[in-house]
Amino acid sequence: MNSMAVSLNSIIQELIEFNLEVFISQDNEILVQAVKLLEINQVIFEPQYLYVGLVLDFPKSIPSNIPVNIICVTENTHFDVNSKEENLNLILIQSKVEVACIFNKIQSVFANEQKIQLKREKLINAFIHGKGLQGIINTAYKLLSNPIILIDSSSKLLSYCGSIEVNDIFWNDLVLNGYFSYESISMIEAKKLSDIISRNVDPVYVGKEIFDVARLISKIVSDNKIVGSIAMLEYEKLFSENDIILFKLLCEIISSEMQKGRFIQNSNGYMYESFITQILDGKKINSKIINDRIKCLDLNLKENLYVLTIQFTESDIIEKVDVQYLCNIFEQIISGSKCIIYDNSVVAVISCSTKMTAQQNDIKKLADFLKKSNMYGGVSRCFYNISNLQEYYRQSVKSIEYGIITAKKDHLYFYEKYVLYCLLDICQSKDELIKFCHVSIFTLIEYDNNQHTNNMKVLYTYLKNEKRIAATAADLRIHRNTLTSHIKTIEKVMNINLDDVDTAFHLYLTFKILMFTKSLNFKF
């Protein structure tokens, strides 16, 4: 992080409770980067520091070639300020207070500045790394903890983040319909609010005399034209000074983002991102609002829905690439998909008229792309109601988790194939799961280790192929007679009959448990 500077004036404001005398020799704003204790008989000073001490420690001479910033606690000591010290910026505290107390108060100013600087960087990074309007608004909501809504100059909703339903008719009007109703616009115009906002450079605080919930509102300017407005509601917490500073920065960033020229074409896309994010977050939305939003967004969802989640091997890749570019790539590969960035992954809602299969051309292309790009994808089961999106998103994430455990080389995993692992996952404890294994499997493992044979692999392949001799022999690349000999050996060593349905099922389940708990060291 770059060196952080705090204005001397903000430090003075922090100390305003004390009896202060302020002597400032410079006309321009004074910035300091750190605070230090004033040493007895100190002669060397640096202009970027603020020195704090007792008046008894005040230096006998002050350097004349650089600015010197000093705070002295005088208590009741009389102190004459030399007005000839042209480079001295001096604050006298004529109160009974310890130097340590003053020092700590100044440190709190620096700590607060550091917090807001970190938040500034997060907002700016959301813009720099191409997260788009919705990504920027999502980041701002996390930092400011109050609902934020963005509309264009025609009062059409572009993006929002916060509670779906707020106790405010204007908010609900926008979120439900995607635009202000005629009645809402008439009420706003009657108060001449648009004129007030357009005349002000800074955000305007509008209280409950107009809205149910007070808010900060600012115009958004692009190429010297007002292209929209943004509001932050004072709903979840009261505004702080830091909130106002960050909101101003947010307005500047949104203006810059809208200058890219993409927002006009993609305004429905931003609304879609906001809508899908709310459902993924598990926000409670009644069915009427969901249906109205689907109509407003003109989604034209087909009968069969799937969630595809794509995760990256580099955890910070989202911070390094243009995420809109990534989304565009996946939307081009998978027909009927719409992508957003969610929880550092690409999440696609896929809508199709027929059931999806791994043999489809676009799915094959996706699997190939993921493998070449060293990414991993998970596909949920089919579902039919968008309100269930969160549940099926979790399935897609789980399928990646299970797939990497059992078949890392594949890169694209369908949850349908890993339902059994989900059942095993509920048990949680590895030791508890192992107890459900067929006891004779450990006899076969010991036999293989002692005889240097591969009967475990033969048995798994045989069970996987539903005990079909020809298919198993082909997979193992051995003669059928050799396979038959292996099976007889396995039955003898384990003292089992593989023709028994329950035994065969128990053994196949055993292999799945051993794979899930990573208790096997050979590749399937």
Q: Are residues 313 and 396 in the same domain?
A: yes
Instruction: Write the pLDDT tens digit of every residue in 418-469.
Output: 878 787 777 766 677 888 889 899 999 999 999 999 999 999 999 999 999 9
Q: Is the pLDDT of residue 267 over 60?
A: no
Question: Ranked by mean pLDDT, which of 84-93, 251-260, 494-503 comes out on top?
Answer: 494-503
Q: Is residue 454 part of a domain?
A: yes
pLDDT of 354 reads 87
CA-CA-CA-CA torsion sign (177, 183, 187, 193): positive
More confident site: 345 or 522: 345
Q: Is the pLDDT of residue 3 over 80?
A: no
Q: Alpha-carbon distance 432 to 437, whole Å? A: 10
Q: Alpha-carbon distance 72 to 102, whole Å? A: 10
Q: Alpha-carbon distance 155 to 30, whole Å? A: 43
Tokens of 98: 């310890």
Instruction: Write the pLDDT tens digit of every residue in 75-113.
Output: 766 677 664 567 899 999 988 899 999 999 999 999 999
Q: Are residues 336 and 244 in the same domain?
A: no
pLDDT of 428 reads 62
More confident site: 129 or 270: 129
pLDDT of 265 reads 43
pLDDT of 4 reads 75
Q: Are residues 378 and 345 in the same domain?
A: yes
3-state secondary structure 99-146: HHHHHHHHHHHHHHHHHHHHHHHHHHHHHHCCCHHHHHHHHHHHHHCC
Q: Are residues 415 and 432 in the same domain?
A: no
Instruction: Write the pLDDT tens digit of every residue in 357-407.
Output: 877 888 999 999 998 888 999 999 899 889 899 999 999 999 999 888 887
Quick one: which of 275, 278, 218, 223 has its CA closest to 246?
Answer: 218
Q: Which domain holds residue 211?
A: 129-271
Q: Is the pLDDT of residue 320 over 70?
A: no
> Considering the chain, what percentage of its residues have pLDDT values greater than 70?
91
Q: Are residues 167 and 260 in the same domain?
A: yes
pLDDT, average across residues 132-148: 92
pLDDT interval class at 1 (50, 70, 90)? very low
Q: Is residue 240 part of a domain?
A: yes
pLDDT of 266 reads 45
Q: Are residues 65 and 92 in the same domain?
A: yes
CA distances from 224 to 196, 204, 227, 372 (A): 17, 19, 9, 45
Question: Ranked by mean pLDDT, which of 165-179, 401-415, 429-443, 494-508 comes out on top?
Answer: 494-508
pLDDT interval class at 270 (50, 70, 90)? low
More confident site: 95 or 250: 250
**12-16, 164-168, 239-243, range with the lowest pLDDT:** 164-168
Of 424, 459, 490, the last residue of a domain is: 424
Of 424, 442, 464, the last residue of a domain is: 424
pLDDT of 491 reads 94
Q: Is residue 115 part of a domain?
A: no
Q: Are residues 134 and 258 in the same domain?
A: yes
Q: Is residue 523 part of a domain?
A: no
Q: Are residues 412 and 439 in the same domain?
A: no
Q: Is the pLDDT of residue 2 over 50?
A: no
Of 91, 106, 121, the last residue of a domain is: 106
Q: Is the pLDDT of residue 316 over 60?
A: no
Tokens of 386: 């968008």
pLDDT interval class at 287 (50, 70, 90)? confident
Q: Is residue 111 part of a domain?
A: no
Q: Is residue 292 part of a domain?
A: no
Largest CA distance in the chain: 109
pLDDT of 349 reads 94
Q: How many domains, the chain?
A: 4
Q: Are residues 138 and 255 in the same domain?
A: yes
CATH code, domain carrying 373: 3.30.70.270
CATH code, domain carrying 139: 3.30.450.40
Q: Are residues 399 and 453 in the same domain?
A: no
Q: Is residue 227 part of a domain?
A: yes
Q: Are residues 30 and 99 in the same domain?
A: yes
pLDDT of 47 reads 92
Q: Is residue 335 part of a domain?
A: yes
Q: Alpha-carbon distance 138 to 131, whole Å? A: 10
